[in-house]
């Protein structure tokens, strides 16, 4: 299976306040297969969001290499980085909508800035996307006038405009109630089925995510501790993984144990 | 473990160097953004409206009161030597070469620079700037370079308005209230103000415009990397205060340097 993204011995560290060095990623190797859903899990401060930022070129590695569709993109800058980013769509933790633009303008932005389409074509595409994401009638609203779930939908609609081959989701259900979270997962499943992108999800919401994942990467102490199917993670005998899964899966995990 | 004073000094030195380097790269990107296409002229016009038209009332009243005070103070000082006829010259030269550019820059730093810093800072902490990057849209071309261009156009124009209103203020106080002859006020102004004086004022206003927009926008852009700023809303508030203070001090320091070099 071809890899959409590969990390080879990637090291990323930060200088702590006491002048010590904290290795967030310490020689991490993994491969994310094209067309599949990979979940990056781990406790707080284990490097999940840093991994996303490294993929997107928002941060640079200390050492090691990152490959996207087989091409070495480590340290790529300028126009090449811009070109690389057209491969990606990102749904940010807080949606990151432009608060001075309406829903329509937010979704239209990538088309206006990155394509040669006429205003009429842009309007047609944006209105069709808004209908697809059940946002019809909200196009003139500003992000502050929308619920958290709707903001996520607008964020996803915006990210999909340039038809990226790789979608990155940073804690897609953080701050949402269970009903909204469920809605986002349905939306994710529907969008993925339609567009067939490679997806990388960073999330703490393990039970729901496990249903969507093809593989899970569990980061611990700067290293990939487990890299495998959701089942492999779920039934790992490592005590801290049992604790992590138990804590995040709660009742579901307990019921499995009883079975 | 508490660091010794030498280590702390070294830390501060390294931080200042890093910050200056960051600021220099930022300025380079801002200029490069001006030449990248498609350039957002509409955004420039909106910013000129915000910076220029939006500041007119503040500039008008500041200039009028400054000119009137100069008229009164100037009359008081000059009358001691029987040189009231030089009032027009004194008011005009003070305003054109010194107070016009400086006070306009300080007022704009307070009104516009703070708003600019807070806006960009909020965009940074709410990941809107990261979102632009991820959409392969250069944030500099998209919204920072238009602010630079708008400031470089607006501030010199506001300074010209300040100079004119200030001279009228001086006229009201000197001629209208203190009885200086209108002819000598205008004549004195015409004979003493040279092209070189006006050029000095224009150069100053361009340099101050650059300082204000550079410092204020960059502080907001780097909000997460400013030492001691903290996180979240508080960091934006602290960095905004810092931006206004730094840009105001820079305006005053550069005012002296430019006067010393160009006078």
Chain A residues near residue B131 by CB distance under 8 angstroms: 90, 92, 96-98
Burial A136-146 (b: 16+ CB within 10 A, else e): eebbeebbeeb
What was the pLDDT predicted at A238? 75
3-class secondary structure per residue, chain A: CCEEEEEEEEEEEEECCCCCEEEEEEEEEEEEECCCEEEEECCCCCCHHHHHHHHHCCCCCCEEEEEECCEECCCCCHHHHHHHHCCEEEECCCCCCCCCCCHHHHHHHHHHHHCCCCHHHHHHHHHHHHHHCCCCCCCCCCHHHCCHHHHHHHHHHHHHCCCCCEEEEECCCCCCCHHHHHHHHHHHHHHHHHHCCEEEEECCCHHHHHHHCCEEEEEECCEEEEEECHHHHHCCCCHHHHHHHHHHHCHHHHHHHHC
- Do A109 and B137 make contact, defined as CB atoms within 8 angstroms? yes
- Do B126 and A96 make contact, defined as CB atoms within 8 angstroms? yes
Q: Could you say which of B1, B126, B134 has the minimum Cβ distance to residue A56?
A: B134
Mean pLDDT value across chain B: 92
Q: Could you say which of A82, A96, A114 has the minimum Cβ distance to residue B131?
A: A96
What was the pLDDT predicted at A21? 83
Average pLDDT over residues A37-57: 86
**Chain B residue with the nearest C-alpha to that of A86:** B136
Q: Is residue B115 classed as helix, strand or coil in its secondary structure? A: helix
- Report how many Cβ contacts below 8 Å link chain A to chain B: 50
Compute the nearest-CA separation of B96 from chain A (Å). 38
Structural tokens at position B64: 């009028």
Residues of B with CB under 8 A from a CB of A: 1, 126-128, 130-131, 133-138, 142
- The residue among B136, B138, B141 with the most chain A CBs within 10 A of its CB, best to mutate, is B136
- Do B135 and A114 make contact, defined as CB atoms within 8 angstroms? yes
Chain A residues near residue B130 by CB distance under 8 angstroms: 58, 92, 96
What is the tens place of the pLDDT at every residue in A199-254? 999 887 665 667 778 888 888 888 887 788 877 777 777 776 777 666 665 555 44
- The residue among B10, B25, B134 with the most chain A CBs within 10 A of its CB, best to mutate, is B134
- Do A83 and B136 make contact, defined as CB atoms within 8 angstroms? yes
Domain map (residue ranges) of chain B:
5-262
Distance in angstroms (rounded) separating the CA atoms of residues B124 and B217? 11
pLDDT of B3 higher than 80: no
Domains, chain A, in order of start with CATH, read 1-87+165-180+192-231 (3.40.50.300), 97-163 (no CATH)
What is the tens place of the pLDDT at every residue in B62-115? 999 999 999 999 999 998 888 888 899 999 999 999 999 999 999 999 999 999
What is chain B's alpha carbon radius of gyration, rounded to the nearest angstrom?
22
Split at pLDDT 50, 70, 90, the class of A18 is low
What is the tens place of the pLDDT at every residue in A33-46? 998 899 888 777 78
pLDDT of A255 higher than 70: no
Q: Could you say which of B127, B137, B138 has the minimum Cβ distance to residue A96?
A: B127
- Do A58 and B128 make contact, defined as CB atoms within 8 angstroms? no
Compute the nearest-CA separation of A9 from chain B (Å). 24
Q: Could you say which of B1, B134, B138 has the minimum Cβ distance to residue A90?
A: B134
- Do A96 and B136 make contact, defined as CB atoms within 8 angstroms? no
pLDDT of B5 higher than 60: yes
Predicted TM-score (pTM) above 0.90? no
What was the pLDDT predicted at A124? 95
ipTM of the modeled complex = 0.84
What was the pLDDT predicted at A258? 45
Q: Could you say which of A18, A82, A99 has the minimum Cβ distance to residue B136?
A: A82
- Do A99 and B137 make contact, defined as CB atoms within 8 angstroms? no
Q: Could you say which of B126, B138, B142 has the minimum Cβ distance to residue A94?
A: B126
What was the pLDDT predicted at B227? 80
**Chain B residue with the nearest C-alpha to that of A59:** B130
Cis-peptide into A90, omega within 30 deg: no
- The residue among B131, B221, B228 with the most chain A CBs within 10 A of its CB, best to mutate, is B131
């Amino acid at each position: 299976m071809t890899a959409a993204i590969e990390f080879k011995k990637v090291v990323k560290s930060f200088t702590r306040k006491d002048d010590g060095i904290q290795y967030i990623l310490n020689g991490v190797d993994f491969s994310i297969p094209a067309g599949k859903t990979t979940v990056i899990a781990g406790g707080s401060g284990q490097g999940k969001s840093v991994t996303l930022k490294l993929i997107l070129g928002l941060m640079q590695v200390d050492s090691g290499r990152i490959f996207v569709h087989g091409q070495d993109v480590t340290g790529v800058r300028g126009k090449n980085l811009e070109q690389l980013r057209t491969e990606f769509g990102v749904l940010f933790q807080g949606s990151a909508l432009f608060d001075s633009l309406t829903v329509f303008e937010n979704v239209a932005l990538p088309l206006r800035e990155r394509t040669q389409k006429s205003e009429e074509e842009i309007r047609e595409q944006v209105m069709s996307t808004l209908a697809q994401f059940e946002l019809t009638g909200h196009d003139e609203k500003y992000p502050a006038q929308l619920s958290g779930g709707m903001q996520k939908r607008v964020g996803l609609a915006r990210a999909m405009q340039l038809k990226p081959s790789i979608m990155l989701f940073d804690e897609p259900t953080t701050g949402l109630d269970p009903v909204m979270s469920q809605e986002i997962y349905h939306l994710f499943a529907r969008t993925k089925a339609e567009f067939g992108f490679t997806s990388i999800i960073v999330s703490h919401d393990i039970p729901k995510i496990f249903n969507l994942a093809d593989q899970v990467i569990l980061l611990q102490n700067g290293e990939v501790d487990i890299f495998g199917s959701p089942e492999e993670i779920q039934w790992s005998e490592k005590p801290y993984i049992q604790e992590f899964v138990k804590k995040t899966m709660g009742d579901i995990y307990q019921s499995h144990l009883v079975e | 473990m508490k660091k010794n004073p030498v280590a702390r000094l070294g830390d501060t030195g390294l931080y200042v160097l890093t910050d200056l380097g960051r600021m220099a790269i930022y300025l380079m990107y801002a200029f490069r953004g001006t030449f990248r296409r498609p350039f957002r002229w509409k955004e420039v016009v909106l910013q000129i409206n915000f910076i220029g038209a939006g500041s007119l009332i503040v500039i008008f009243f500041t200039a009028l009161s400054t000119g009137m005070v100069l008229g009164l103070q100037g009359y008081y000082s000059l009358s001691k030597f029987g040189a009231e006829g030089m009032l027009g010259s004194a008011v005009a030269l003070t305003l054109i070469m010194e107070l016009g550019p400086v006070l306009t820059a300080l007022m704009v730093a307070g009104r516009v620079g703070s708003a600019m810093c807070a806006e960009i800072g909020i965009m940074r902490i709410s990941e809107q700037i990261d979102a632009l990057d991820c959409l392969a849209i250069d944030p500099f071309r998209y919204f920072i370079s238009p602010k630079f261009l708008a400031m470089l156009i607006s501030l010199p124009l506001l300074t010209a308005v300040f100079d004119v209103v200030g001279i009228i203020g001086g006229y009201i106080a000197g001629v209208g209230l203190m009885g200086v002859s209108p002819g000598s006020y205008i004549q004195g102004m015409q004979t003493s103000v040279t092209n070189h004086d006006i050029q000095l004022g224009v150069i100053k206003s361009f340099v101050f415009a650059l300082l204000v927009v550079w410092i204020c926008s960059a502080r907001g852009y780097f909000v997460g990397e400013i030492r001691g700023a903290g996180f979240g809303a508080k960091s934006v508030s602290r960095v905004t205060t810092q931006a206004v203070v730094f840009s105001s001090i820079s305006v005053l320091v550069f005012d002296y340097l430019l006067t010393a070099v160009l006078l």
